[in-house]
Amino acid sequence: MITTDFPIIQAPMAGSQGSALAIAVSAAGGLGSLPCALLDPDMIRAELSAITAATSRPYNVNFFVHREPPVDEGREIAWRTLLAPYYQELGVEQPAVSRPAGRTRFDEETAAVLEGFRPPVVSFHFGLPAEELVRRVKSWGSKVLASATTVEEARHLERHGVDAVIAQGLEAGGHRGMFLTEDLSTQMGTLPLVRQVVRAVRVPVIAAGGIADSAGVRAALALGAAAVQVGTAYLGCPEAKTSAVHRAALKAPGAEVTALTNLFTGRPARGILNRLMREIGPINASAPAFPLAAAAIMPLRAKAEAQGRGDFTGLWAGQHVRQGPDLPAAELTRELAS
């Protein structure tokens, strides 16, 4: 499909990395990824220019595919009321109800930016964009990948033309890519999901979730995966933009104690258990729909982070946090592939 030296995809991690990590991984023989969920079209163009100037190796560009929900004022007020004791404790003003900056979705405008670069691989999270957009991406010769969290989602993606399915097990750090179901109780671990998706679809399957060393890579390949997508293990790399608070949490005792939470964005995502998750979550029905929940948390997060605390931050991490010294991305890629 796409030829790289190693069957290792560095997972796109919005907010924690940009082109530098992608370049290092692609240049080392893996597939580096550029997450675009928090970039505007000009930033995407600048990052893609940096990648194509630095390496001629294949790379992946990643997008969220979500619907922007309407602002539900009642729900926003209930959410702020729940958070009121924290605004008081931290001495920050309760933010007004308004539409936050949100997340970049894949649409005509972002497609036009990509068209100038014809990236070798484009990947999607939370389903696929409209069929004509998928056709447009494929017409440049780009290979299309998308995350599936159930066997049914994998079959759906294959029917809609993906070139490979990313089977994202429950162990994975960050947002669950679920799009045909909202039921967390039936989500599967990487091992049974990969094995059953391999049987269910004809396209290659990429295993994601809880893979942090070469033994995990070998296990995924033994299950029939054509490649792996590794996120959390790359968060410690010097090329990543992981915040100081996030890096400290990954090193602290208890970093392996993660949970699925909807508090920070409104969609379930796996992160290291922290104060807000313990006190009002980790799942709370009052959280507004993705990505609106983030707006009310933002001032708490900013104030706490300024004091070196991650109490109100989504500290995204999978269930397997890599131990040992933080390696440069090229070395980590080679280690995973060894």
Q: Which residues bind ligand FMN (CB under 6 A)?
A: 11-14, 16, 35, 37, 62, 125, 147, 168, 171-174, 208-211, 229-232, 316-318, 320
Closest to ligand FMN by CB, 55 or 313: 313
Q: Which amino acid is at 234?
A: Y
Least Å distance between CB 188 and ligand FMN?
Answer: 14
Least Å distance between CB 194 and ligand FMN?
Answer: 12
Least Å distance between CB 271 and ligand FMN?
Answer: 8
Distances (CA, A) of 69 to 73, 82, 263, 310: 12, 21, 16, 27
Q: Which amino acid is at 265?
A: T
C-alpha dihedral sign at 209, 169, 224, 65: negative
Least Å distance between CB 85 and ligand FMN?
Answer: 28
Burial of residue 98 (CB within 10 Å: 0-12, 13-18, 19+) is exposed
Q: Which amino acid is at 333?
A: T
Least Å distance between CB 222 and ligand FMN?
Answer: 18
Residue 168, both tokens: 């994202």
Closest to ligand FMN by CB, 90 or 191: 191
Closest to ligand FMN by CB, 71 or 298: 298
Closest to ligand FMN by CB, 178 or 276: 178
CB 291, CB 100: distance < 8 Å: yes
Closest to ligand FMN by CB, 310 or 318: 318
Closest to ligand FMN by CB, 97 or 165: 165
Burial of residue 40 (CB within 10 Å: 0-12, 13-18, 19+) is middle
Least Å distance between CB 78 and ligand FMN?
Answer: 28
d(CA 15, CA 49): 19
